[in-house]
Structure 1
Amino acid sequence: MKEYSVVPNKDATGWVVKIEDVAPTDQYDERDQAVEKAVEIAEKNKPSRVLIMDKNHEVESERTF
């Protein structure tokens, strides 16, 4: 199962979508945009899951596809 995550960037000015918590794919100004993109990627690569982190890098929600 592939894992994607939405996390704040280093200086917390934007949000990053990461694949397997290693390779960042894109950066977004808004968290909702990043979540939308992560879900889109995960749906295309089933089975997969998306971990959505808060600004403290704690898991806020998880979605499985």
Structure 2
Amino acid sequence: MKEYSVVPNKDVTGWYVKIEDVAPTDLYDERDQAIAKAEEIAQDNKPSRLSIMNQNHEVEEERKY
């Protein structure tokens, strides 16, 4: 199962989409944009799991595809 995550950058001015918790793929200004892109990638690569982090890098939500 592939792992994807949406995490804030260190000063929470942007959001990264990460694949397998390695180097981030893209930086987005809005959290919702990052979540939408991560969902798209996760759905295209089933089976997969998407973890959405909050500002404190705590898992806020997990979605499976």
TM-score (normalised: structure 1): 0.97
CA RMSD in angstroms comes to 0.6
Q: Which residue of 2 aligns with 1:21?
A: 21
Q: In structure 1, list runs of 5 or more residues that go unmatched.
A: none
**Shift of the alpha carbon at 1:25?**
0.6
Identity of aligned residues (%): 77
Q: In structure 2, list runs of 5 or more residues that go unmatched.
A: none
Which contiguous aligned blocks of 4+ residues in structure 1 show a shift greater than 6 angstroms? none
Q: Which residue of 2 aligns with 1:44?
A: 44
**Shift of the alpha carbon at 1:12?**
1.1
Give the Cα–Cα distance (whole angstroms) in 2 for the partners of residues 13 and 3 of structure 1: 23
SS at structure 1 position matched to 2:43: helix
How many residues are matched?
65
Q: Which residue of 2 aligns with 1:54?
A: 54
Q: Which residue of 2 aligns with 1:2?
A: 2
Q: Which residue of 2 aligns with 1:32?
A: 32
Counterpart amino acid of 2:7?
V
Counterpart amino acid of 1:9?
N
Give the Cα–Cα distance (whole angstroms) in 1 for the partners of residues 11 and 54 of structure 2: 14
Give the Cα–Cα distance (whole angstroms) in 2 for the partners of residues 31 and 14 of structure 1: 7
